[in-house]
Structure 1
């Protein structure tokens, strides 16, 4: 029996999609929107991709910029509460480059190469 607390929340993604839709409709690039609301382009990108929940201040500025009433301010606590992977979390294993050898010492690497390069006698 799965509980609803184990499922990822839709709120960070929804707020990011809403931001992207409004930005596209306004004909703005991420950099242009970032400049207009006085936030970094990186922050706008992370909010749009749900890698980061918008701060309360950013939500207020987005509502003021797009004239959306309290839309982002109402979504912000939901997105932040159910939020996203913190930036200090470990990198997922699929992003970690594969290791070629169990040991990283140069001598063990040379030994492994030597053992594979020895010709087989028949």
Structure 2
């Protein structure tokens, strides 16, 4: 357990955030409880964040910045904190997500993290490890803030039909996740297509992958294993995966037909109705 009296702001982004939060709070003449009451969080949570025992969220940071008049300092710091909490091997990928102008992904077994709901993310992250689940879920969801930028990346996800039927969490979790996918049906920059069972043998049988495209840098292909990630800009690999993606997109249902399939599965399998 970190002691606030010896908290080293240089130890990590999380420690630095806690140090700055304490400094700002004390400069305002507030106790942890008083600040918590102002921002509608518990004083205990404020204390845990100040002592680097709890990961702050963007929402917490925005409220405290507003309450303490800190000119967005904590909101800027929280991005570094959240990225630092990702597994080391994934931090580079999170950076690619923030820099890319276009992200194209094919997913065989699970909805991509950038389009996961909180409940779905929590269920996937907690499948084998329940430790710090709230913090890990918040860190994953924070990656979706790339869609809040003034100019968001184009995001294209091709999803294997089996993902719709794989019940992760609970029927309620799946209803929420499929409804979330449907919310992008008319979105210009976020597109979801389903690769149906009827496609048979297809170009993605060897596994999921993601393509990152940039304004001026080379395209990067990312594949993932158990506890490891493999980004590469090798032209041969990039060209191969780009061609595979084109074939997958051609074999997938249209955006409209994909939405109809998602809606039908949600109604028939998970007992929900969507207007």
Alignment of 1:33-48 (within 5 A): 33-48=35-50
Q: Could you tell me which runs of 5 or more consecutive residues in structure 1 were left unpaired when the two chains were aligned.
A: 1-7, 90-122
C-alpha distance in 2 between matches for 1:40 and 1:49: 15
Match of 1:32 among 31, 34, 57: 34
1:74, distance to aligned residue in structure 2 (A): 0.6
C-alpha distance in 2 between matches for 1:61 and 1:9: 25
Matched-pair contact (CA < 8 Å) for 2:17–2:81: yes
| Compared CA separation, residues 49 and 83, structure 1 to 2 (3 A) | farther
**What residue number does 1:101 align with?**
none
Instruction: Report the TM-score, using the length of structure 1 for normalisation.
Output: 0.59
Instruction: Report the TM-score, using the length of structure 2 for normalisation.
Output: 0.27
Q: Could you tell me which runs of 5 or more consecutive residues in structure 2 were left unpaired when the two chains were aligned.
A: 1-9, 87-129, 133-275
User: Does 1 or 2 have the higher relative contact order (CA < 8 Å, sep 6+)?
Assistant: 1
C-alpha distance in 1 between matches for 2:83 and 2:45: 18
How many residues are treated as equivalent by the alignment? 81
1:77, distance to aligned residue in structure 2 (A): 1.6
The residue matched to 1:53 in structure 2 has which SS? Answer: coil
C-alpha distance in 1 between matches for 2:18 and 2:77: 10
**What residue number does 1:54 align with?**
56
Name the one with the larger helix percent.
1
Radius of gyration: which is bigger?
A: 1
**What residue number does 1:14 align with?**
16
Matched-pair contact (CA < 8 Å) for 2:24–2:70: no
Following TM superposition, the consecutive aligned residue runs of length 4 or more in structure 1 with deviations greater than 6 angstroms are none
| Compared CA separation, residues 9 and 83, structure 1 to 2 (3 A) | farther
